[in-house]
């Protein structure tokens, strides 16, 4: 990411924001009333949550790099 142009960083920022928007919808689930099923559903949600965290970290890095172009 160090050698990316401002335009490339802006494009990546837009891609990340679009992915995060799609993830937000996917993460909204209604849990089953059965406790065992709830445990499985919650466990299955850990992957998207981790993916979202990674995207947010990358977004912060991209935005920081974009700020460097402003200075």
| pLDDT number for residue 17 | 93
| pLDDT number for residue 8 | 95
Q: pTM for this structure? A: 0.68
**What is the rounded end-to-end Cα distance, in angstroms, of the chain?**
18
Long-range contacts from 40-48, C-beta under 8 angstroms, 24+ separation: 48/23
Q: Per-residue pLDDT for 10 more than 90?
A: yes
pLDDT tens by residue, 26-71: 555 566 677 787 677 677 666 666 788 889 999 999 999 999 988 8
| pLDDT number for residue 46 | 65
Higher pLDDT, 63 or 20: 63
CB 48 within 8 A of CB 22: no
| pLDDT number for residue 1 | 66
């Amino acid at each position: 990411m160090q050698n990316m142009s401002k335009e490339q960083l802006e494009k990546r920022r837009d891609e990340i924001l679009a992915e995060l928007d799609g993830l937000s919808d996917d993460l909204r689930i209604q849990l089953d009333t059965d406790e065992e099923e709830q445990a499985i559903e919650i466990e299955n949600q850990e992957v998207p949550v981790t993916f979202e965290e990674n995207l947010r970290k990358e977004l912060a890095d991209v935005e920081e790099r974009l700020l460097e172009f402003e200075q």
